[in-house]
Amino acid sequence: MANKQKAVYVPGTYAQKKPDAAQRAAQYFREWEKKRRETRGREPRPAQIAPAICFSRKTGVGALEIADILAETTGFRVADREILEQMAQDAALSKETVAFFDERYPGKMSELSAMLFGEKSFTMSDYLRNFVSAVFAFADMGSTIFVGRGTHLILPRDRVLAVRFIGSAAYRIKRLADILDVAVQEAEAILGKIDKEQQEFFKKAFGKRDAPPYEFDMVINCDYITEPRSAAAIVAQAFRAKFASA
C-alpha cells in the first residue's frame, strides 16, 4: 500500500542517503580553499579546467546514481544540483567563488552571457552569476561529474563530455513511485510539477525550452540501458576516448 504521508522528492536523489547539502558545500569549499592557498605565490597556471563530465537528464531516470557509480571508478567528485544551488545561494561562498572567477577568467562572464542570450541580454541575474562561479570553482579543483542544471552550457565545450539521460514518462513515473512508495497517480503529479519547474529554470537561466540532442556527445535512453553500472561503464569509456590525449 502506498505511503499516505505527503511525498517530497528532491530531483537527483535516489535510495542512497547523502550528507546535508550545506555540509557537503562546506567540505568542498574547504578543499577548494586549501588548493588555492597551496598555489598562492606560484606563477599562475593557464586558466584551463580539467576534463569534466556533465550529465543532463530527464528527472527520475537515475542520473545521480549513475554519477555516483562513475565516481567510484574514476575518483572524480560529484557536483549535483543540491550542492551547486547551495553554493550559489550561500552569500559567503558566492562572494569567494565570484571573486575567484573574475580573477581567473577576466571577461568570461560577459562572454558567457553573450553566448547564452545573444543580443537579448548581457546581464546575468545574481543567482546565475553565483551559479556559474560555483561551477567553475568545482571544475578548478579537478575533474568533476556535474549532474543537472545545464552545466554543459556553461563550461568550455571542448573540456566536457556532455551526456543526456532520457526515459519515457512511464519509466520515470514508475521509478519515482518506487522511490517514494506512493501511488502511480501521485508520482505522476509530482513528476509533472518537477518537469515544469525544470523547464522554467532553463527558460529563465538560459533562454532555452528544450535540450536538443546535438548539444551532447551522447544520449542514453534509460528505458533500454536499465542497469546503472552499464550506463556508467559506457560513459567512462566515452570519456577515456574523448580525452585520451588530455
- Residue 115 domain-assigned? no
pLDDT at 97 over 60: yes
- Residue 113 domain-assigned? no
CATH of the domain at 59: 3.40.50.300
pLDDT in tens, 23-75: 777 777 777 777 767 666 555 555 678 899 999 999 899 999 999 999 999 99
- Residue 67 domain-assigned? yes
Q: What is the pLDDT of residue 42?
A: 59
- Residue 18 domain-assigned? no
Helices (H) and strands (E) in the chain, counts: 9, 5
Q: Sign of torsion, CA 30 31 32 34?
A: positive
Q: What is the pLDDT of residue 158?
A: 92
pLDDT at 81 over 70: yes
Pairing relation of β-strands 218-221 and 77-79? Answer: unpaired
- Overall domain count for the chain: 1
Distance CA 169, CA 184 (A): 11
- Residue 8 domain-assigned? no
- Residue 193 domain-assigned? yes
pLDDT in tens, 164-223: 999 999 999 999 999 889 999 999 999 999 999 888 888 877 878 788 899 999 999 999
Confidence of residue 246 (pLDDT cuts 50, 70, 90): low
pLDDT at 10 over 60: no
pLDDT in tens, 153-163: 989 999 999 99
pLDDT at 136 over 90: no
Which residue range(s) make up the domain with 209? 48-90+142-240
Neighbours of 12 (CB within 10 A): 23
Greater model confidence, 194 or 124? 194
Confirm if 115 and 99 have CB atoms less than 8 A apart.
Answer: no
- Residue 179 domain-assigned? yes
Greater model confidence, 120 or 236? 236
Length of the chain: 246
- Residue 132 domain-assigned? no
Confirm if 164 and 57 have CB atoms less than 8 A apart.
Answer: yes
Confidence of residue 1 (pLDDT cuts 50, 70, 90): very low
Distance CA 44, CA 195 (A): 42
